[in-house]
Structure 1
Amino acid sequence: MDYKNIQDLIKTVSDSQITCFEIETEGIRIKMEKKEAQVVVERIPENVTHIEAAVHEPLTGKNIEMQEVHAEKTEDEVSKNIVNTIPDENIFIVKSPIVGTMYTSPSAESKNFVKVGSIVKVGDTLCILEAMKLMNEIESEVDGEVLEVLVSNEDMVEYGQPLFKIIKN
Structure 2
Amino acid sequence: MEYNEITGLMQEMAKTGVTRIMIEKDNFRLELERSGAAYGAVPVIGEGGNAAVMPGMQPGADVKTESAANAENNKSDAALNTDESTYKKILSPMVGTFYAQPAPDKPPYVSVGDTVKKGQIVCIIEAMKLMNEIESDVSGRIVKCLVNNEEMVEYGQPLFLVE
Normalising by structure 1, report the TM-score.
0.53
Provide the C-alpha distance between the structure 1 equivalents of 2:114 and 2:40, rounded to a whole number of angstroms: 44
1:21 & 1:112 partners in 2: Cα distance? 36
Alpha-carbon separation, structure 1, partners of 2:63 and 2:126? 26
- What is the CA distance between 1:93 and its match in structure 2? 1.2
The answer as to 2:121 corresponding to 1:125 is: yes
**1:100 has 2:127 as partner:** no
Residue deviations 1:20-62 (CA, integer Å, cap 9, x gap): 579xxxxx954467544879xxxxxxxxxxxxxxxxxxxxxxx
Select which of 138, 147, 153 maps to 2:143: 147
Q: Which runs of 5+ in 1 are unaligned?
A: 1-18, 23-27, 40-73
In structure 2, the partner of 1:135 is: 131
- SS of residue matched to 2:149: coil
Number of the residue aligned with 2:79: 78
Letter in 2 for 1:91: Y
1:158 maps to 2:158? no
Q: Cα RMSD over matched residues?
A: 3.0
After superposition, the Cα gap between the structure-2 partners of 1:124 and 1:77, relative to the gap in structure 1 and judged at 3 Å, is same
Q: Distance in 2 between matches of 1:32 and 1:146?
A: 44
* Bigger Rg, structure 1 or 2: 1
Match runs of 1:1-169 below 5 Å: 29-31=52-54, 34-36=59-61, 75-79=76-80, 81=81, 83-84=82-83, 88=85, 90-167=86-163
**Is 2:117–2:140's contact at 8 Å kept on the other side of the alignment?**
yes
Equivalent AA in structure 1 for residue 113 of structure 2: G
The one-letter code sitting in structure 1 at the alignment partner of 2:124 is I
Query: Which ranges in structure 2 are unaligned for 5 or more consecutive residues?
Result: 1-38, 43-50, 65-74
Q: Deviations over 1:73-99 (max 9, x none)?
A: x643222x1x13x7x3x5111111111
Among the aligned pairs, what percent are the same residue?
41
> Residues 38 and 136 of structure 1: is their aligned pair in 2 closer, same or farther, counting only changes over 3 Å?
closer
User: CA–CA distance in 2 between the matches of 1:153 and 1:29?
Assistant: 35
